[in-house]
Amino acid sequence: VRKMGEFAKESRVKEGDNDVHKRLTVRLHLKGVEARGVRGTEAVDSTQYYRRSAGQLIYGKQNIFKGSIGVVPALYDGYASSQDIPSFDIEEAVANVYYIYYYLSRKSIYEWLENFAGGSGSKRLHTSEFYNIKIQLPSLEEQDAIVEVLQLALKEIETLKKHRDVLTKQKSTFLKI
């Protein structure tokens, strides 16, 4: 059992170009990391944004308890988010970032994280609380094996969903005949 702060370090590289078209958000219910739409209300230089890199663990401080957690995909390398959506470099010699993601993405775990949140009306899981979270961390070899099995299972699930969608479309077509 190790504390997150022993192998995770918040990335605080300031964004230089302030490009509103390169902002990230982390969707609820483990729906992934994606580009945030331009809202049109962004005030230049009103909020400090930080550069995010592919492979960093990222979460929404207000919504991690609702599954707002992910890993920055290569597609969004160089995008940015505010300090309300922090990202972390994971020490590769100690932990596999996807193992950490899968560990934290269990509903029983991410809902439990609300116990560590600060604030009364709008609770947030701040970095200091995040660093104190203890997780089970097997050897790196075992983490890699677990990640490989889970990723294969997820690919199989995606394949089956696509197959189901094709069959559903075929059924709909046949019923129209």
The confidence score (pLDDT) of residue 99 equals 97
Asked if residue 16 has pLDDT above 90, the reply is no
Q: What is the largest CA-CA distance in the chain?
A: 63
pTM to 2 decimal places: 0.86
Residue 159's φ and ψ, nearest 5 degrees, are -60, -45
What is the band of 17 on the pLDDT scale with cuts at 50, 70, 90? confident
